[in-house]
Amino acid sequence: MVRSGLPAGPVGFLTGVGSLYIHIPFCRARCRYCSFSSFAGLESLHQRYIGAVCREIARHAGGNRIDTLFLGGGTPTVLDREHLAAIMRRCRDAFEFDQAAEISLEANPDTVRADDLNVLRKQGFNRISLGIQSFSDDELKTLGRIHDSRRARQAVADARAAGFDNLSIDLMYGLPGQTAASWRATLERALSSEPEHLSAYQLSIEEGTEFAERAGRGELLLPDEEVIAEMDEITSSLTRGAGLRHYEISNYARPGRACRHNLVYWNNEPYLGFGAGAVSYQEGVRRSRIKDPQIYCYTVEQGREPVAASERLEPIDSFKETVIMGLRLVDGVSEQRLRQRYGLGLAEVYGKTLDSLRDKGLLLFDDGHLKLSGRGRSLANLVMAELV
């Protein structure tokens, strides 16, 4: 890596914060593939946790106008709708929101009913992301999901009836026992609902999950590479036919409906995070909060910051993160924006590594943007490893 000419000082560290993330670490049951910070069976902690989150939000009141708010988990909708409304009210008390702010809520189809969605929409949530994963009951059972396909279809209908005109559906493919035909059926069912946004994530086996244990014992039969490639082609064809643009490795959206909050992450811009396990990124410093919700609550109640780890990124490290995250986007990384933000260009940082990846056909430079090629997208992890 070439480091000569690296500017001194905090170049590249954006100071404005226009995005909030609030983590709700509770679930009714833990899915077999899940490695996120989530806990089942802590219903007695819900009320206390809401109080702690609201206290933490109030402590950080003020600052820039908020453009995006995202409640994720876990499963935020395991909380009572009044709890979610209380968080929304506290956020609005603490921060000034842009009139056109994107306010997203993740939901499991089995934890929301029509009345809940009506209340939440009136409270200001204007984007909902339904974690459906599959419309096959057999596949849902394999994943350990608590809903069935009928409930998933009803949740979509209820969200529309409540006035959510920005609907995202999350799906997973590459599941144990899944075929290209069953993936096509799930995708067609999802697209028939005409969602504004679709996420299609390939299953990855994460350490510490039930699936990882079963895979280690040779009990998990996953589709082979040829089937995965066929599933990818099905996804590309059907989403294009439905008018959804592929804008990120796993995400598709109608024009103007890309997830603005997640674009903050992919562009490596600053954001605030509240709640157990949440992460903030401000002025080049990444802070991770305590993951255990009980310890998190106790720490906040004692008037202390619930930060478990803090890391200040050097400008060169922030530059590389911006490139790696930005390559997830189909439009890629803007050379001009990199120079404006860091005073550096791609060749100065990566030198011959960049040339090698381009010569191998894994990266291309188009209209001032560095992008993954079609082949590079299928080998994205290998490309990213070269650019770390």
The pLDDT score that the predictor gives to residue 154 is 97
The pLDDT score that the predictor gives to residue 41 is 86
Give the mean pLDDT of 324-350.
Answer: 94
**pLDDT band for position 37 (cuts 50, 70, 90):** confident
Give the mean pLDDT of 338-355.
Answer: 93
**Over the chain, what is the mean pLDDT?**
92
- Give domain 319-387's CATH architecture: Orthogonal Bundle (1.10)
Percent of the chain with pLDDT over 70: 96
Please state, in angstroms and as integers, the Cα–Cα distance from residue 265 to each residue in 83, 225, 313, 330, following that order. 27, 29, 15, 15
Same fold, 19-266 and 319-387: no
The pLDDT score that the predictor gives to residue 66 is 95
190/186 Cα distance (integer angstroms): 6
Percent of the chain with pLDDT over 90: 82
- Report pLDDT digits (tens) over 156-171: 999 999 999 999 999 9
User: Of 262, 88, 234, 301, whose CA–CA distance to 168 is shortest?
Assistant: 262
Is the confidence at residue 16, as pLDDT, over 70? no
The pLDDT score that the predictor gives to residue 30 is 82
Report the 10 Å Cβ neighbour count for 235: 22
294/308 Cα distance (integer angstroms): 14
**pLDDT band for position 10 (cuts 50, 70, 90):** very low
Residue whose tokens read 């006035």: 163
- Report pLDDT digits (tens) over 41-53: 899 999 999 999 9
- Report pLDDT digits (tens) over 232-288: 999 999 999 999 999 999 999 999 999 999 999 999 999 999 999 999 999 889 999
Domain boundaries, the chain: 19-266, 319-387
Residue 370 phi/psi, 5-degree rounding, is: -90, 125
Is the confidence at residue 178, as pLDDT, over 70? yes
CATH topology of domain 19-266: TIM Barrel (3.20.20)
Give the mean pLDDT of 54-64.
Answer: 91
Is the confidence at residue 13, as pLDDT, over 60? no
Is the confidence at residue 301, as pLDDT, over 80? yes
Ordered DSSP codes for 186-204: HHHHHHTT--SEEEEEEP-
Is the confidence at residue 339, as pLDDT, over 70? yes
The pLDDT score that the predictor gives to residue 314 is 93
pTM for the model: 0.92
- Report pLDDT digits (tens) over 302-313: 999 999 999 999
Q: Where is average pLDDT lowest: 100-114, 212-226, 285-299?
A: 212-226
User: Of 194, 21, 171, 160, whose CA–CA distance to 103 is shortest?
Assistant: 21
Report the 10 Å Cβ neighbour count for 242: 17
